Every structure is written in C-alpha cells, then in structure tokens.
Structure 1
C-alpha cells in the first residue's frame, strides 16, 4: 500500500462525509465504537462476546453475574476514554502528558489507581522486549512528548511513533496496550483519518510489527500495517459497510 493511495482514499472519505447527515456520521461512529471496544478490551481474553459489549453499552448499569466485574468495568471505561478522544480530536486538541494521564485514569477507573507512572519494573510474559526500568520512565516520557511536538513528525510516521514508542516505554502498571491503541486513533483522527480496530486474525501481524520496532528500531513494518488497515477501513466506510 502506497501513501498516495491512502491519501486519495482519505479525500474520497472527506467528500463522502460532506454528502452525509450528522445522524449518519454519528451512527457509523457508534457502530465502530462498539466493535473497537469489543476488540480492544478483548485483546487478551474472551470473557465477553460482541453481543455482551453491545448490550452493556446500551445501558451501562447492566450487570453480568457470570462474568468478571473488572472486565465489565474495563469495557465501560474504554467507552468513556474513546469518547474523550473523539471529543478532543474533533477540536484539534493535540494530547500532552496531562491528557494521557487523564485517559489512563479513565481506562482504569474503579479497577486500580490511574494516571500515575509505574513505580516498579515490569516483565511481560512471552514478550521479546523488557520495558525500561521505572527509574527511566519520566525522562523517556519527556523525550516522547518532546518528539511529538516536532512539526516535522507527521502523517503515518507520527501515528506509528506515538503508538510504538508508548508501548516500548510501557509507562503504566496496566492498560498500556489499550491506551496505546487509543493514542494511535487519536493521532489518526487529528489528521482526519478514520480510527481503526485490530481484529484477532490480525494480532500476530500487529505484534510482529511492534516487535520490529522494539527490537530492531524499524517503524516501516508497522507503518505498512497501519496504512493497509486504514485503507480497508476507509473503503468499508465509503461502501457503507
């Protein structure tokens, strides 16, 4: 997938949206949000089905006695965090450290303490990369935001860096993956692209591309992966699927 092809699709998308009503655009966003929240929250487990998520998002007070309470809470929290991103990106408000911490607090609200960088080292089971010591997090996050303020960093390269470097630092005790996927979509929406979701069948390719960055410092595999994902998302949106 070439960048020019994705940019052409983006123009088709913008033209398509001009012909749509606000209600139609909102309906498409709501449908995507449900799918995204299911796929992102369900990344490492299969406790909830898509129908469960759909049912819960229709009424956040619904209970599931046979399922883990924290999973239910994580789904609701993910919904609120995603709405925050839609709201801020629509106003073209770039995120900073305060917003990232607020998003994390929203994601883990009622589950663990949020919005604070981890104070211990982590070892991720099965991972090929060990996150940096907690003693280095503040400096690495300062560098992260400094690079994001660079106007030369843009497009898919910017979105990829925002996602990949955050995952490499792994600044919080939990919910780093969910937050990284939210930040990826935040960047896409700021650039008038569509947010994306990663299906289970794409997870191996997704993780391989992340490892290429973490281990070999290569962003190209993830950028290629992201452009293909975005292109398919736009095509489906335009076709009405």
Structure 2
C-alpha cells in the first residue's frame, strides 16, 4: 500500500506494507509491459547464465522454492530487526538477482525492490549511475560467489548518503 503524505509543504509517498512474491511479479509485469507481454511476471522455464558473472543463478526448477525462501528471509529480517534497513534492502536486491527468476528484467526489478524497501523504511530511492555500473556488477558478483554482501551494502549506503545530501541541498 502506498499513501501520499503532505510533509512541510511537500507530497511524499510512503510505502506501508512489506514486499510479497505477488508484488514482485506485478512489478516485473509493469517493467516488461509493452516489451514482452508473454514473459511479463512469468518465471523463466529454462536455465540461464549471467554473462560476466562468476557464479550460477538458481536453476529454473528451483525458482519458486528459492523465492519462497527469499520471502521467509525478508519477513524474518523485518520482524526480528536483523540488520539496518539499508543492509536489508541491499541483501534483498542481491539475493533476488542471484535467483534471477525472469528471462529479462531481473536487474531492473531487483533495483526497484531495493528502492521499495528503502522507501518503506523511510529512505530515499537510490540510482546506480552508469559510471558506477562496473562497481555495482562487481559487488553483486562478489555477493553471489562469497555470500558476502559488504561491498553492495557499502555501495547502497554511499548512494543513500548522496541522495540525502542532494535532497537536503534542494530544501
């Protein structure tokens, strides 16, 4: 659920509900709307390889199980305060793209999920600039290979600080 709130003369969107698997599929459908309607919101039915990555993604037969596990992890992280909101957002993104449930649009969907979680926790969305793309891919690959999310968390935290500084500058 998203509410619009008037704060100090500004309208702000506030995300009030946690993420669900149904919402993930709906977000993906919106991303592929008008591009590939047959694949929009549909889990892939074949195995894929991420070009340039050092790790494998979830085999297509395990996608539903791995997404269910991701949702259990996410729910537990929120309910038990297992980490800072920025950590949870970054790890959610990494785990999602390493499952790679769709044929196309996994990165875009994953970044939207990350921003969804940041906004749900009261933070600004972050944008990964073209100049940061290689660093971003390296952080994702490092997380996928080593199950170590530190590089990605640091990157997202730094991007959040930058977004907050720009926001304050505008105020």
Which position in structure 2 is the counterpart of 1:202?
Answer: 132
Alignment length, in residue pairs?
160
Structure 1 regions of 5+ residues with no counterpart? Answer: 1-16, 27-85
For normalisation by structure 2, the TM-score amounts to 0.87
1:95 corresponds in structure 2 to 19
Greater RCO between the two (CA within 8 Å, min separation 6)? 1
> What's the offset of the Cα at 1:126?
2.1
Residues 43-62 of structure 1 aligned to structure 2 (within 5 Å):
none
Q: Over alpha carbons, which structure has the higher Rg? A: 1
The 8 Å contact of residues 31 and 105 in structure 2, kept in 1 or not, is answered as: yes
1:181 paired with 2:126, answer no
Distance 1:219 1:91, change over 3 A: closer
What TM-score does the superposition give when structure 1 sets the normalisation length? 0.63
Instruction: Give SS of 1:181's match.
Output: helix
- Shift of residue 105, structure 1, vs aligned partner: 0.8
The CA deviation string for residues 168-220 of structure 1, in whole angstroms up to 9 with x for no partner, is: 00001110000000000000000100001011111111111111100011011
Q: What is the rounded CA distance, in whole Å, between the counterparts of 2:107 and 2:15 in structure 1?
A: 25
Structure with the largest fraction of strand: 2
| 1:37-75 residue CA offsets vs partner (Å, 9 max, x unmatched) | xxxxxxxxxxxxxxxxxxxxxxxxxxxxxxxxxxxxxxx
Question: Are residue 107 (structure 1) and residue 31 (structure 2) matched?
Answer: yes
2:15/2:119 contact within 8 Å kept: no
The equivalent of 1:147 in structure 2 is 73
**Unmatched 5+ residue regions in structure 2?**
1-5
The offset of 1:21, in angstroms, is 1.3
Cα RMSD (Å):
1.7
